[in-house]
Amino acid sequence: MNDTLSLAKALIEQPSLSPHDHGCQALLCAELQKLGFVIEQMPFGAVSNFWARLGSHGPVLCFAGHTDVVPAGDSNDWLSEPFTPTIRDGRLYGRGAADMKGSLAAMITACRQFLAAHPRHNGSLAFLITSDEESIAIDGTRRVVEVLEARGEKITWCVVGEPSSTTLTGDVIKNGRRGSLNGILRVNGQLGHVAYPHLACNPIHAFLPALTELAAVEWDRGNAYFPPTSFQISNIHAGTGANNVIPGSMEALFNFRFSTEVTVGQLQQTTAAIFNKHYRDYQLDWQLSGNPFLTPEGRLVAAARDSIKEVMGITTLLSTGGGTSDGRFIAPTGAEVVELGPVNATIHKVNENIEVVELERLTAIYQLLLEKLLLT
């Protein structure tokens, strides 16, 4: 327990604002080298990544995560300095405590304890760590996976330390995530005076029926693992700021969070058909953040559930809710992927924190999971 807490505090002390690692990975690599892991640094641009492996045979159980954090905001709003780890009332405060430096520390301690108890075990242990999860996620896990795939190095099971729990450690684990598709729309009109609308073309008036129809579409009804696909308009901008000028253009941003019941192509085709029915003078660009992925119930999910049951005495729920994670880059390789981490109530917030006892619980859960998968 002291090892997990000490390492968590050392990581929190590093202001590793995405995509900069600020020395966190050096701390992790030093601990892994003591355990015999072979470390492979994989920097891309400003992003720090490493792949560490112990063993040369399969199956491969990989712990994955990130050392980067989101900005802390105004430090005056915090009860203590965001990068000065502080314990108050049994809770460890600091940016990254829950997302996800606490998980990383627990993973390292769990491996140390597992290897001390079971120096001879099946398969291999691995770590895939990046500093580009909270940012644009281009030069991080995505690039490392490309390298591993190119040389035929496969991950069998992957545990991502994202804060998946809701109110109690392990009450929820993520066995998949929805896909995320962004649309960037520009509608062209003609600038003019509001008193002379026949001499202008208002792009807002022209395109609102299309957006309204799009918002009313039932894309699918979801399935046993995923809720129905959702469409949301996140930004609309038009106008010069004057109340007597018809805008010459309108820009809108929208997002689909989609299930495995629909494809990217289907979303794009239906959207374009609706737009073209109402108005054709527009430009539409797409940005795919990630496809949906799902790990059905199997060895990894069962091992995670059983480990949580033994440590916490609760039955965990499977979920695919929330945003995206780096699991979306690992799952397409054929790996089973789950996200298992601490309570997420304070992530990205002022006074982010984790219960100190939760670090102990996570360490125990991760160690049991190792035993269930690599000793049988």
| Active-site residue set | 68, 133
351: left (phi over 0), alpha (psi -120 to 50) or beta: left
The amino acid present at 50, given as its one-letter code, is F
- Judge whether 204 and 250 are in contact, CB under 8 Å: yes
| 237 DSSP β-pair partners | 251
Can you spell out the DSSP letters for 275-336? HHHH---EEEEEEEEE--EE--SSHHHHHHHHHHHHHH--PPEEE--SS--THHHHGGGT-E
Q: Which two tokens stand for residue 25?
A: 């990975």
Q: Residue 3 in 3-state DSSP?
A: helix
CB of 139 within 8 A of CB of 68? no
Helix%, strand%, coil% for the chain, nearest 5: 35, 25, 40
